[in-house]
Structure 1
Amino acid sequence: MSARPDSFDFAASGRRVFAIEGEALAAVGGRVDGAFSDACRAMLACRGRVVCTGMGKSGHVARKIAATLASTGTPAFYVHPGEAAHGDLGMVTDADVVLALSYSGESDEILLLLPALKRQGNTVVAMTGREASTLAREADIHLDVGVPAEACPLKLAPTSSTTATLAMGDALAVALLEARGFTADDFARSHPAGALGRRLLLHITDVMHVGDEVPRVGPEATLSEALMEMSRKRLGMTAVVDGDGRLLGLYTDGDLRRSLDDARVDLRATRIDAEMTRTPRTIGADALAVEAAQLMEAHQINALLVLDGERRVVGALNIHDLLRARVV
């Protein structure tokens, strides 16, 4: 009789799964040896792509391995073995390495592809749980992902075996990543829509305001005129520039509040150069947007002027621009 749901110890069952799969990972990890190195060398030398294939649960794992390889510098894709036998094998060139997953090593759909792959000259790397299986014997390189036990108490559902196979795929991807000298910048280029991509690829020039959108006044402008410029451009500041557009100073909303608190300041008569900050924080046009965010955070400011190499004001941005770009 099955246990009643209200009396079943779910946590104990969950812990048992972790324990069994932990043992499986340790066992497979202990077999990362010369064959693993051979597989890495074959993939590193590959002039084409790593074609991952597998049926059922192995197919799901193969898809994930292909995605991990592709995002870490090893061009790869997944092909369904059943579809491959009906035309999709044309996607595989003689420059490709094939990574075939089958825990039993006897999946008909995979075995059916082997003669064609061998005729074409593809290197076949197999991941199976049985060294004596047909796929293991016929492959050029075999990676043993056999596990002591499945976590499923019925010994039916692939659990420990899929976890171990996935970990072997991760091990291949990471080893290749390190061998290639793959960097965070490389990762960002293949993930332009992700948070890391935005942080590493987005430049100041991609988010800053330029041209007439940049608030600027001359040093002879009054505070009242500066206030009107700030209101029009809505960046909470204005640059003070000379006739060639070079920065002389900065006047911000905070400076305006301090001016209003000073009874001696007449907004209509006081010149901006008497109240401006003469050495404001600025940033170069070639900097990354994330550097602007770090500068703002470090100095508790909400806006920055962007300067070129001759200290001419070429742009401006505030914290809202960085928020819209999802840099912060």
Structure 2
Amino acid sequence: MSTASQWHQWAKRVIDIETAAIQHLHRFIDDEFVAACETLLACKGKVVVMGMGKSGHIGNKIAATLASTGTPAFFVHPGEASHGDLGMLAPQDVVIAISNSGEAHEILTLMPVIKRMGLAVIAMTGNPNSSMAQLAQHHLCIKVEEEACPLGLAPTSSTTATLVMGDAIAVALLQARGFTADDFALSHPGGALGRKLLLRVADLMHRDDRLPQVRQDVTISAALLEISAKGLGMTAVTTADDKLSGIFTDGDLRRVLDAKVDIHSTAIGDVMTQDPVTISSHLLAAEALQMMESRKINGLITVDEQGRPEGALNMMDMLKAGVL
């Protein structure tokens, strides 16, 4: 029966070998890498990624990373390509063909057709002298010294190196394109990243009848009724001409009670927090969250160009929207 020490030893050996494989990739970031990236950057069509077996799984991920970072890409299974899926390729596309040996029969079978279509081919292999490397316009070497599998059979270090090389390409292209966080959000509208990057304060804020606000001459007790009714733990306080003059929160109430202020006779304007932090409704919700966290406050009021309250939001709104 295996001991805990053996489990630790086996696992750490894998990590050490794969870490070394990644570090060795630096030697392959050369002029050929630059040429391949420039070909991909100039591509007027899409990047078509191909790979068999484990290389196919890695290729699928590389295609997904490219697509989400500004380089239109998709994965085509070489076996299916031989039976009709090759029709997905267009004359302006660029092919990335992945095979550790560089001798994947299913990909080599497709090369004459790909060449006839005039497509540029970038091969990612562990053998610069392989058939695929020789047929490609550009070759990216992903050679590793050893697989983490003690039998030297299961692709481990080689697939890790391939994945990292793919990430290097995708991120280099992202930076060359000037791809921004807003661009990234447009391709991720349904996930948490999209919510963080796309949602604006205006999308979350409570407005109109749901906006808590009172005039500064009303009593504290009247303001508390407004706070309870709107459920945000605060209320905006306005002047007679509807401009924001302050804010009153649950925290302010605790301080008022500690000071034994008469809540039934004292005007809210006398105890409110003056010149409160405000935010534009056009800003990103993520910016509002950063503002609340940095200032250690739980809510914000938004004002229009005339200084009148137009909305309010709190940390619970951020949590419900998935921004927090």
Q: Report the TM-score when normalising by structure 2.
A: 0.91
Task: Tell me, in whole angstroms, the C-alpha distance in 2 between the residues paired with 1:312 and 1:225.
Answer: 20
**Partner SS state of residue 30, structure 1:** helix
Deviation at 1:254, TM superposition (A): 2.8
Deviation at 1:167, TM superposition (A): 2.0
Pairing partner for 1:251 from 248, 251, 255 = 248
Task: Tell me, in whole angstroms, the C-alpha distance in 2 between the residues paired with 1:244 and 1:255.
Answer: 24
Task: Tell me, in whole angstroms, the C-alpha distance in 2 between the residues paired with 1:58 and 1:245.
Answer: 65
Structure 1 residue 138 and structure 2 residue 139: aligned?
Answer: no
Does the CA-based 8 Å contact 2:199-2:284 persist in structure 1? yes
CA-atom RMSD in angstroms: 2.2
Structure 1 residue 296 and structure 2 residue 263: aligned?
Answer: no
The residue type paired with residue 60 of structure 2 is R
Aligned to 1:34: 31
Residues 171, 298 of structure 1: CA spacing in aligned structure 2 closer, same or farther, 3 A cutoff? closer
Task: Tell me, in whole angstroms, the C-alpha distance in 2 between the residues paired with 1:19 and 1:30.
Answer: 18
Task: Tell me, in whole angstroms, the C-alpha distance in 1 between the residues paired with 2:177 and 2:268.
Answer: 56
Pairing partner for 2:276 from 254, 270, 280 = 280
Pairing partner for 2:147 from 150, 153, 162 = 150
Deviation at 1:58, TM superposition (A): 0.7
**Partner SS state of residue 273, structure 2:** coil
Pairing partner for 1:112 from 109, 113, 119 = 109
Aligned to 1:50: 47
Pairing partner for 2:307 from 299, 304, 311 = 311
Q: Deviations over 1:206-257 (max 9, x none)?
A: 1110110001122332223222222211111222223543112222223333
Q: Report the TM-score when normalising by structure 1.
A: 0.90
Structure 1 residue 169 and structure 2 residue 166: aligned?
Answer: yes
Residues 278, 114 of structure 1: CA spacing in aligned structure 2 closer, same or farther, 3 A cutoff? same
**Partner SS state of residue 37, structure 2:** helix
**Partner SS state of residue 296, structure 1:** helix
The residue type paired with residue 17 of structure 1 is V
Could you tell me which runs of 5 or more consecutive residues in structure 2 were left unpaired when the two chains were aligned.
Answer: none
Report which stretch shifted further, 110-119 or 276-285: 276-285
Report which stretch shifted further, 137-146 or 210-219: 137-146
Could you tell me which runs of 5 or more consecutive residues in structure 1 were left unpaired when the two chains were aligned.
Answer: none
The residue type paired with residue 169 of structure 2 is L
Task: Tell me, in whole angstroms, the C-alpha distance in 2 between the residues paired with 1:153 and 1:67.
Answer: 31
Pairing partner for 1:271 from 235, 244, 267 = 267
Structure 1 residue 208 and structure 2 residue 205: aligned?
Answer: yes
Residues 55, 224 of structure 1: CA spacing in aligned structure 2 closer, same or farther, 3 A cutoff? same
Task: Tell me, in whole angstroms, the C-alpha distance in 2 between the residues paired with 1:226 and 1:302.
Answer: 18
Residues 248, 18 of structure 1: CA spacing in aligned structure 2 closer, same or farther, 3 A cutoff? closer
Task: Tell me, in whole angstroms, the C-alpha distance in 2 between the residues paired with 1:156 and 1:259.
Answer: 73
Q: How does 1:209-248 map to 2 (within 5 A)?
A: 209-248=206-245
Report which stretch shifted further, 71-80 or 191-200: 191-200
